[in-house]
Structure 1
Amino acid sequence: MKIHNLGKEQTVLNQFVLELRDNTIQKDTMRFRRNIERIGEILGYEMSKTLDFEAKKVQTPLGTKEVSVPVNDLVLCAILRAGLPLHQGLLNYFDKAENAFISAYRNHDPNQKDENAFEIVVNYLASPTLDNKTLVLIDPMLATGKTLETTFEALKGHGVPKAIHIISVIGSEQGISNIDEVFDDNTHLWIAAIDQEMNAKSYIVPGLGDAGDLSYGGKL
């Protein structure tokens, strides 16, 4: 897997990540969503540099001009609910893309001896065919990598994409190592920051908290 850690570069992206992490600024849910959306735009722009392009002629009022434009058939797949603001950022730039949505959540079995053990459960999936298309998996917090692995497995019944890109805001080193074994060498990971640790509950440290709750409010 090819890893593109854009947080290593000195760009305005880091300002948006800082605000997402700040436990005072992140209380403004509208700003939190907008910062994730803006990160999606930046990651999408960087991803676009690796797409396929072809020259097209455009007629202006004064003549014609040849412009190189991307021609990939994209499918943007958001992992609900936390992935929605990031999905919107990508959709702002790839407005002709098809869209898929999948609900994947951590299910803790009360009968398990380890109270922190969980499995990823998928109970909703809507997707167009993926055959010969470019699949973009959108998951803002890449902790253990189990969600991405389960999502990818669930999508296999919808066809075989010709290319896969993963878009995340923050990931753990362990989670990235885990998905590196799931996805092939031609898969691209576009990410805004990588943290070294996870806690006992498999949340990224220092991370930023629960991206879904911070975007849309708490849940039972």
Structure 2
Amino acid sequence: MQIHYLSEKNSVLNHFLAEIRDVNRHKDAMRFRRNIERIGEIMSYELSQELKYESIEIQTPLGIKNTTKIADKIVLCSILRAGLAMHLGFLNYFDQAENGFISAYRHHPDNDDNFEIRVEYQAIADINDKCLLVVDPMLATGQSIVAVYNRLMERGHPETIHIAVIIAAPEGIAYLEKHLPENCHLWIGALDKKLNEQSYIVPGLGDAGDLAYGIKL
């Protein structure tokens, strides 16, 4: 798996990462969603450098310009519900992309810290021979992304796969490296220290879905 760390160099990405982590800003859900969306836009630009392009000619008012355009047929899939705001950021840049949505959540059958991943709702375009982009803000254990990947592979076989996360833990990265094919690209906004006993990222930012859309039952 090819891993791309985006916050190693200072940029406006780090500014937005700082804002979404700041507990003093967490009461402003609209600001949180907008920053997640803007981070998605920044990550889209970085990821776009790994896509395929084709040469084209453009007629301008004064002549012909030889340039390029994206050749990949993109399917953008977000993991519900936390991925929705990030999805919008990517869609702002890849506006011709087909779209998909899939749910994955932690189920605690014994009401303790042990959990299993359940993948339920899914609605996605044909992914065969296309460029599949999977987006989710947090990469903690990695189990959700692997479960989603396995379910998507039941639907088809994309030509290329890119996974974009905003904050990742080392344990989650190691899990993806073990369970996903080598030709996957993993894009990481920021790498954090570890997971805690409840498998949440430290220092992280809390629950991205709750911060964006309210506390769930």
Q: Normalised by the shorter chain, which TM-score bucket? A: over 0.9
Any gaps of 5 or more consecutive residues in structure 1?
none
Tell me the equivalent position of 2:185: 188
Moved over 4 A (4+): none
Tell me the equivalent position of 2:130: 133
Deviation, 1:26, is 2.3
Conservation of the 8 A alpha-carbon contact between 1:109 and 1:118: yes
Partner of 1:43: helix, strand, or coil?
Answer: helix
Tell me the equivalent position of 1:167: 164
Tell me the equivalent position of 1:43: 43
Q: Aligned pairs, how many?
A: 217
1:152 paired to 2:149: yes
Deviation, 1:15, is 0.5
Q: Which structure 2 residues correspond to residues 193-212 of structure 1 after superposition, within 5 A? A: 193-212=190-209
The one-letter code sitting in structure 1 at the alignment partner of 2:19 is E
* Matches of 1:158 and 1:95, distance apart in 2: 23
Any gaps of 5 or more consecutive residues in structure 2?
none
Tell me the equivalent position of 1:31: 31
Tell me the equivalent position of 1:82: 82
The one-letter code sitting in structure 2 at the alignment partner of 1:70 is I
Deviation, 1:49, is 0.4
* Matches of 2:9 and 2:2, distance apart in 1: 17
Conservation of the 8 A alpha-carbon contact between 1:169 and 1:191: yes
**TM-score scaled by structure 2?**
0.98
**TM-score scaled by structure 1?**
0.96
Q: Deviations over 1:186-210 (max 9, x none)?
A: 2111111011211111100000000
Q: State, as a whole percentage, how many aligned pairs show the same letter.
A: 52
Tell me the equivalent position of 2:119: 122
Tell me the equivalent position of 2:11: 11
Conservation of the 8 A alpha-carbon contact between 1:128 and 1:158: no
* Matches of 2:26 and 2:9, distance apart in 1: 23
The one-letter code sitting in structure 1 at the alignment partner of 2:101 is F
Pairwise CA RMSD: 0.9
